[in-house]
A = this chain, B = another copy of it.
Amino acid sequence: MRYMPLASATRELDAQPKLGPPAYVVLGMVRLGARSGYEIKQTVELSIRFFWTISQAQIYPSLEQLEHAGLIAGRSEPQGRRRRRVFEITAAGELALAQWLRSEEPMPFELRDVAMVKLFFADALGGQEALALLRRVRQRSEQQIATLEGIEPAARLVEQEGNAHPLLTLHIGIAFHRAMIDVCKEFEPQLAGEQA
């Protein structure tokens, strides 16, 4: 039996300093076949960009952390003389990812959208200008939908490889923006009727 304060004992069991969402994102991307840090960044931009971002500067430390924890295995695989580390998920990694997905931790919905803020305060504008803002917001959503629909073929491909959920989140994104457009459209006549 060892004598040490409880806090330290607990810390020893926990082992690693606990992974944050960015690390799980990297882990999940490796699982889906993104091999290098560079590929992960690209895949993120192509797939989850509209509900999660991650900068390159976060990816490499996350990879290190995950490898250290034994959740991914990396090896050097240079292209010619250009250095390159490629990673694969380990059995422990699969387990850790699934555990995170199952965990009952709260998932607060947090949107942080300047456009919505501007819309909220738009009564400070005249009717014509408020209408212009509303239309800019609508156009943004139309643009987003176009982008998301552009991704759909790729999502259908990963679906055929047994990953149907990327397509699901893509559809949610499209539905989000459609909903936004609908509410804006409904509101427009109310503004058009106003004098400046």
Task: Name A residues whose Cβ lies closer than 8 Å to a Cβ of B.
Answer: 21, 24-25, 28, 31-32, 47-48, 50-53, 94, 97-98, 100-102, 107, 109-125, 129-130, 132-133, 136-137, 140-141, 144, 162-166, 168-169, 171-172, 175-176, 178-180, 182-184, 186-187, 190
A166 CA to B31 CA, complexed, in Å = 42
Closest 3 CB pairs of A and B: A175-B179, A28-B121, A51-B116
Contact between chains at B129 and A101 (CB < 8 Å): yes
In the complex with contacts A175-B182, A183-B168, A101-B121 CB distance below 8 A: yes
Is B109 touching A163 in the complex (CB atoms < 8 A)?
no
Q: Tell me whether B113 and A101 are in contact (CB under 8 A).
A: no
Contact indicator B52/A116 (Cβ below 8 Å): yes
Shortest Cβ distance from A153 into chain B, in angstroms? 17
- Given A102-B129, A120-B165, A175-B179, are A110 and B113 also a contact pair (CB < 8 Å)? yes
Min CB distance, A133 to chain B, in Å? Answer: 6
Pick 5 A–B contacts, CB within 8 A, sort by A.
Answer: A50-B109, A50-B111, A98-B129, A101-B118, A102-B132
Question: Contacts of A101 on B, CB cut-off 8 Å?
Answer: 118, 121-122, 124-125, 129, 133
What residues of chain B lie closer than 8 Å to A136, measured between beta carbons?
Answer: 107
Contact of A120 among B110, B129, B162, B166 (CB under 8 A): B166
Cross-interface CB contact of A168 among B52, B94, B119, cutoff 8 Å:
B119
Complexed CA–CA distance, A173 and B165 (Å):
23
Instruction: Please tell me if the beta carbons of A53 and B112 are within 8 angstroms of each other in the complex.
Output: yes
CB of A7 to closest CB in B, whole Å: 27
> How many Å from the CB of A163 to the closest CB on chain B?
4
